[in-house]
Amino acid sequence: MKLVIDTNVLIAAFIAKGVCHRLVEHCLRSHQVIASDFILQELHRNLTQKFNLSDEDSQSIRILLQNRVQIVKPIPFTSQICRDADDDNVLGTAIAGNAVCIVTGDKDLLSLNPFQSVDILSPAEFAAYEERLWSG
């Protein structure tokens, strides 16, 4: 399945070894993860500025992801969709990559579920969603 993992989930995956870490590992092994330069840049910026990760460690994470995901250019929208314009880039990435879903902890994005043909799920909802898709 093609899916987008939002920056906040990626951050949680690399900062803490919990649910998001296991989810990202599973998705990278079992699915086609779609990302954009915007998402990877936002990840790098947040890891270094908010979480004080070294530039070198953050770049290593970026390179790891670049080698494991499909990079697409987010489609632009004619008008702003989300309260936070950065979230439009996540939606645009999903549409450009023909993703089935976005996994995010962002309440603004979650409130849009679904957006066009893209389901928007929390990390906690993903396992049940995945099971429904595979069994249905």
The values of phi and psi at residue 18, to 5°, are: -120, -145
What is the band of 136 on the pLDDT scale with cuts at 50, 70, 90?
A: low
Whether the CB-CB separation of 100 and 115 falls below 8 Å is answered with no
Task: Give the residue, 15 or 83, on which the prediction is more confident.
Answer: 15
Q: Are the beta carbons of 68 and 29 closer than 8 angstroms?
A: no
Which pTM does this prediction carry?
A: 0.94
Q: pLDDT grade, residue 55 (50/70/90)?
A: very high
Residues 75-112 have pLDDT tens digits of 999 998 988 888 999 999 999 999 999 999 999 999 99
User: Which amino acid belongs to residue 108?
Assistant: D
